[in-house]
Amino acid sequence: MVKRDFLAVIESRLTGRPDYSARGMEKVGRIIFDVCDIDRNGFMDDRDYCRFLFSYGVPEQDALWAVRRITSSANPILSRSRFIELSREFYCSADPDAAGNWMFGKF
Ligand SMILES: [Ca+2]
């Protein structure tokens, strides 16, 4: 399944309304971020991010690759708002160059 097919399934399951999908993804992104931000400092560091992707079955090495791809390698942390923005890009953007396309690694 390629991303286009994945997005079509997600879209059809979320009533087929793009605005609903974006809002739904934002809610999901907030929940996931809050679960993974164990120390509640408002940021997801590389350990938090590995924990997030581990829940999707992504190996640590691939998760570290992903977090460095979507952040500055010198500062591999994500704010809550940036995480939500990346989630929105991954699930809802048609831009093939959007950084969010890499949030799950080489998926
Ligand atoms: Ca944290």
Distance from the CA of 104 to the center of ligand 1, in angstroms?
A: 18
Helix pair 18-36, 3-13: axis angle to 10 deg: 100
Is 27 domain-assigned? Answer: yes
Domain of residue 77, CATH code: 1.10.238.10
Q: What is the pTM (predicted TM-score) of this model?
A: 0.75
Residue 104 lies in a domain: no
Q: What is the distance in A from the centroid of ligand 1 to the CA of 103?
A: 17
| Tens digits of residue pLDDT in 10-45 | 566 554 555 556 677 778 788 889 988 889 999 999
Distance CA 82, CA 1 (A): 27
Q: Give residue 42 CA to ligand 1 midpoint distance, Å.
A: 6
Q: From ligand 1's centre to the CA of 78, what distance in Å?
A: 9
Using an 8 Å Cβ cutoff, are 51 and 38 in contact? Answer: yes
What are the pLDDT digits (tens) for 43-52?
999 999 998 8
In a domain, 100, yes or no: no
Q: How far, in Å, is the centroid of ligand 1 from the Cα of 79? A: 9
Domain that holds residue 55: 3-93
Quickly count: other Cβ atoms within 10 Å of residue 27's Cβ: 11
Task: Specify the 3-state DSSP secondary structure of 37.
Answer: coil
Chain position carrying tokens 């570290």: 64
Number of domains within the chain: 1
